[in-house]
Amino acid sequence: MKYSRHVFLFAVLFVANNLLATDTIPRPKKLVSEPQHAPSEMLIADILQHYHYQKAKIDNDFSADVFDKYLKMLDLQRLYFLKSDINYFEQYRSRLDDELLTGQCAIGYEMYNKYMDRLQERLDFIDKILCDTFDFTKDEYYAYDHENQSWFEDKEDQDRYWIKRLKYEGLSLKIGGKHGKEITEVIQKRYANFRKQLAKAKNEDAFQTYMNAFTSCVDPHTDYFSPRLAAEFKMEMTQSLEGIGATLTTEGDYTKVREVVKGAPADRSKKIFAGDKITAVGQGRDTKDGEMADVVGWRIDDVVSLIRGKKDTWVRLQIISGKAAPGEPQKIIEIQRDKVKLEEQRATGVVKKIKIVKSNTKRKKKLYIDKFWGKEKKVLNIGVIVLPVFYQGTTADVKKLIDGFKKESLDGIVMDLRNNTGGSLQEAIWLSGLFIKQGPVVQVKNAMGDIDVNYDNDESVYWDGEMTVMVNRGSASASEIFAAAMQDYGRAIIVGDQTFGKGTVQNVFDMNKMGIKMEKQLGEVKLTIAKFYRINGSSTQHRGVIPDILFPTTYDTAEFGESSEDFALPYDEIPMAEYAATAQVAAMMAHCKDNHEARMKTSKDYQYLLEDIKYLAQQREEKMLPLGGQTAKAKQKAREDAVKDRLSTIEDEVNEEVKTKDKVKPRVAKKDFILDEGLAIMADLIQINRTAKKKLPNKQPK
């Protein structure tokens, strides 16, 4: 399982490779503890023990967890340390808890400095061997994922692996269009930059990494922010920035997109997504504006500084798609910068007109939806509300959208919460209140074990008609609370992927306000203080929300989601709250599922989705990648041909002409297969409910 580092942890992690003009670059200095680190460390220990949701027990077992985590943070892929280093470090396995409690960090700095030494050795080694072009005629293979392999026995063993690693990087450039010495030059420039980055290492970098080894062993959402990073975090949260609108984090040697801000330039481009890795950054729209800087192994703050820029300017990014199979070529995208404000991530809505037709009686009057055929049609007006985050004013904006929908004889509502990362808990409660009579919406359990039930106290129901809620693996926190409430009350059918599973609450502790006066700032701790529970008593933590109609997903749950995180708080249950569920969707669920499954059997889009999932699963299982140019190219060409065939088929369908009396009208392409199916499910629910109501007697018993 991968190790995913938290956002803003700007530890200096690098890959070793070749360098250029290395004599002019200073060697990294030995890092040492500073006076403010000891009080900071003891404050962190106190906060973890007394204020965290599960009150950390700092003992030898905890020390062992921190020891393993710290090694992962320093050398995730086991590329730099030797087995002899690890054997020597083992004497510290049960002593890190003592360091934390007493404000000492000598062991942490010793391990960090050894890591820096080993990395420097790798850089020196590669500087010597990378002088000729690569030979891609040999039939050999490279184990690209070294995380679960043994530590290198000696430097000779390490050298053999690194020679193949360099060749793999060269092959990636070759497949991407580079040739001969050009490949070597690119790699030389890349690692000249690595050496420069290594020389920038600061004492605070080592302390930051060491402290987060402790905090992340309590839970993955508890972080230590150094003074510099705390200031950066506040700026991100409170100010508008000129850039592309993406939150970045570090994973091993890469800068990774953690989140794309809805409505921001990155989102509007439809070219970069959460999970993508940025490997190079360039200014302007083409090479005339300058070459791209290879940023693999860079400090994340330096990468951010390259990506940010003035409004209306352009930035080029070279990325590895988060959904790409190992070995697939990278792509270069262009994004125009703009101002990024949280307030601009407002809910948007549109009415979709869906034409429906009843199936014949031989199929027991099941309903099938098709936009393009059938003589006896009826149009349903379905309002689609896209909600990127829960911001202040969400509920008021959604009410305005519904008011607009009602002017068009509204039949149903689809709430699209895909990739909604959360936000305001209160807005999630108020929004739930638009669709239910008064009652509980979410339960919150604090570190003392006290349970607070959060209610909607407004008896009015703003929309009492049919509704579906769309979610995916990127839906988290407040969006999970809303979806869970709609599911528990029986108010909506939940459609999509299993959600992220973040069911915890964080608060920031400013250590500068905890009574210790120092010349330098102490930093802050973001701490998990509570846990969310559904009104049925189950937690959204770890498990998330399971949709009623579940789509298969291309996401690897071992790589993305709360369940993929080390030390994630577990799923558990508490007593359910008192609430009255409706029967609005429960009785119709089986019919909607049957119709959905029938559509999927003949859906080419669904088959394409299954093909992608199968392909990615097969690639993830492959632990060895070919280094022979012809073998690698043949493998890549086979994939490209399959994709081209698919696109050609889709294009043929899109260009299918529907003849009218006086002109030829092109058929409209489906741009969002999952949303289209969500609309079809919505139409099913509306029609089935209305058919059922017609069969009821005019007077209902009280």
Pairing status of strand 348-358 against strand 378-386: antiparallel
8 A C-beta contact, residue 599 and residue 593: no
> Among this protein's residues, is 370 annotated catalytic?
no
Q: Which of 205, 456, 488, 548 is catalytic?
A: 488
Active-site pick, 72, 502, 526, 531: 502
**Residue 488 bears catalytic tag:** yes
Distance CA 247, CA 236 (A): 9
Strands (DSSP E) found in 488-568: 493-496, 504-510, 524-533, 549-550
Long-range contact pairs involving 177-186 (C-beta distance under 8 Å, separation at least 24): 180/133, 181/133, 183/133, 183/134, 184/18, 184/130, 184/131, 184/132, 184/133, 184/134, 186/294
Number of other CB atoms surrounding residue 668 within 10 Å: 10
How many helices (H) and strands (E) are present in the chain, helices listed first?
Answer: 18, 24
- A 10 A CB-CB count for 494 gives 22
DSSP string, 240-263: -EEE--EEEEEETTEEEEEEE-TT
Q: Catalytic: which of 477, 479, 538, 539?
A: 477
Other CB atoms within 10 Å distance of the CB of residue 402: 18
Q: Distance between CA atoms of 375 and 691, rounded to whole angstroms?
A: 20
**By three-state DSSP, how is residue 48 classified?**
helix
Length of the chain (residues): 702
Active site residue 539: no
The Cβ of residue 43 has, within 10 Å, a number of other Cβ atoms equal to 21
Q: What span, in angstroms and rounded, lies between the C-alpha atoms of 469 and 415?
A: 5
Q: Three-state SS for 122? A: helix
Catalytic residue IDs: 477, 488, 502
